[in-house]
Amino acid sequence: MRKLIAAVSVVSLTVGVLVAAGAPVVADTPPSVAIIDTGTNSALYADSTATEVCILSSYKCPNGEMFMEGVGAANLSVTSNKALNHGLEMLSIVVRVNPAAKVIPIRIVGITPNGNPGLYSLDDVKAALDWVIVNRVKYNISVVSLSQGKVFANCKVPAGMAAQIATLKAAQVPLITSVGNDANRTAVFSPACIADTVAIGATDNPEPGVKGLPYDQAAVPYIARYSNGAQGQTDFFLNARWFVKQLNGTMRFTVGTSNATAAMSGYWLLNRKVTLDETYASILAGTIAIKNEFQSGRFVNIDSIPLGNSK
């Protein structure tokens, strides 16, 4: 979406599903946010969960297969592994920003016999996006949240991923995705580098460390120095300092563009208009200018949400 907010007037055909441009399809179910990540604790946020999905290329889902859909599909055993807690952390932020949101955790990460995350890639993300496109109408999927990725030369993504993102955009469904935390001054994560995504960066406020200090609404935000990207590569910047839910039900303080992405995903659904472009323009109109030594951008201040506390 960088700089160009153009009306979509195409009709796309992807994995056998016809997706027409125009207003979102009206479904009997409430709008939902699909969260492509490591998984969840199914016992937590059960009332907010529309369904669960597991799509793996290594190791097994809870049913012993490499695909599972339904209650418990994205469930993970309680562990202190930070990477495996990541999916629930993102879900907890989405629901905190928008308590009425329905969420669909899509687990793309297998677990090794030693209890560590298995290898996964953007091909696994692509498989998850295929599921989203096929099931978009059934679950009224209105936002896709992706806090995963990696910097690749020339914005490399799997073949067909750009078309998937364009198909979702034509259906008024944004892929909201993080730019990454590598302090890269020239590039952002794939697929955030694709113009049809909504790329999200991080702000620091009130200080750049990882102490559990509450977010200070009175302080002047600035772009976090770890937030990837050069000028014009990021659509929006949000507070990245959050206390997030762990698989064991406790809270932990974290920072990063992942947090900002999850926050924007909940906020987007909360403020969703008829079309993607209208929502983007509405959110943009409420932003303020921010910067650091390397880039400038637009800050989304979710000032009605008690950000950064432990509740």
**Closest C-alpha to 205, from 299, 296, 293, 295:** 299
Instruction: Give residue 218's pLDDT band: very low, low, confident or very high (50, 70, 90).
Output: confident
pLDDT > 80? residue 296? yes
Is residue 88 a contact partner of residue 44, using CB atoms and an 8 Å limit? yes
Domain total for the chain? 1
DSSP string spanning 188-205? --BTTTSTTSEEEEEEE-
Instruction: Give residue 214's pLDDT band: very low, low, confident or very high (50, 70, 90).
Output: low
Average pLDDT over residues 216-240: 91
**Closest C-alpha to 74, from 83, 63, 82:** 63
Task: Report pLDDT for 98.
Answer: 96
Q: Which residues have C-beta within 8 Å of that of residue 8, sequence separation ≥ 6? A: 21, 169, 170, 172, 275, 276, 277
Task: Report pLDDT for 216.
Answer: 73
pLDDT > 90? residue 2? no
- C-alpha distance from residue 175 to each of 63, 169, 294 (Å): 29, 8, 25
Task: Report pLDDT for 213.
Answer: 72
Q: In angstroms, rounded to a whole number, what is the distance separating the alpha carbons of residues 55 and 61?
A: 8
- C-alpha distance from residue 153 to each of 158, 161, 195, 291 (Å): 13, 16, 16, 25
Look up residue 241 and give its two tokens.
């300092």
H or E segment to which residue 53 belongs: strand 53-55
Which CATH number goes with the domain that contains 260? 3.40.50.200
Task: Report pLDDT for 183.
Answer: 96
Task: Report pLDDT for 310.
Answer: 38
Task: Report pLDDT for 210.
Answer: 66
pLDDT > 70? residue 25? no
Q: In angstroms, rounded to a whole number, what is the distance separating the alpha carbons of residues 162 and 300?
A: 26
Per-residue pLDDT tens for 272-294? 999 999 999 999 999 999 999 99
Residue 277 lies in a domain: yes
Residue 311 lies in a domain: no
- C-alpha distance from residue 93 to each of 23, 125, 230, 239, 242 (Å): 27, 20, 27, 12, 8
**Closest C-alpha to 107, from 119, 123, 124:** 124
Per-residue pLDDT tens for 44-96? 999 999 999 999 999 999 999 999 999 999 999 999 999 999 999 999 999 99
Average pLDDT over residues 23-34: 73
Residue 11 lies in a domain: no
Higher pLDDT, 135 or 29: 135
Q: In angstroms, rounded to a whole number, what is the distance separating the alpha carbons of residues 62 and 281?
A: 41
Q: In angstroms, rounded to a whole number, what is the distance separating the alpha carbons of residues 152 and 155?
A: 5
Calculate the average pLDDT of the chain.
89
CA dihedral 253, 118, 229, 207 (to 10 degrees): 10
Residue 52 lies in a domain: yes
pLDDT > 50? residue 167? yes
Task: Report pLDDT for 125.
Answer: 98
Residue 125 lies in a domain: yes
Average pLDDT over residues 31-40: 98
Task: Say which residue the tokens 């298995």 belong to.
Answer: 118
Average pLDDT over residues 198-226: 81
Q: In angstroms, rounded to a whole number, what is the distance separating the alpha carbons of residues 21 and 287?
A: 27
**205 forms bridges with which residues in the sheet?**
none
Task: Report pLDDT for 304.
Answer: 47
Average pLDDT over residues 191-205: 95
Residue 2 lies in a domain: no
> The domain containing residue 196 runs over which residues?
28-299
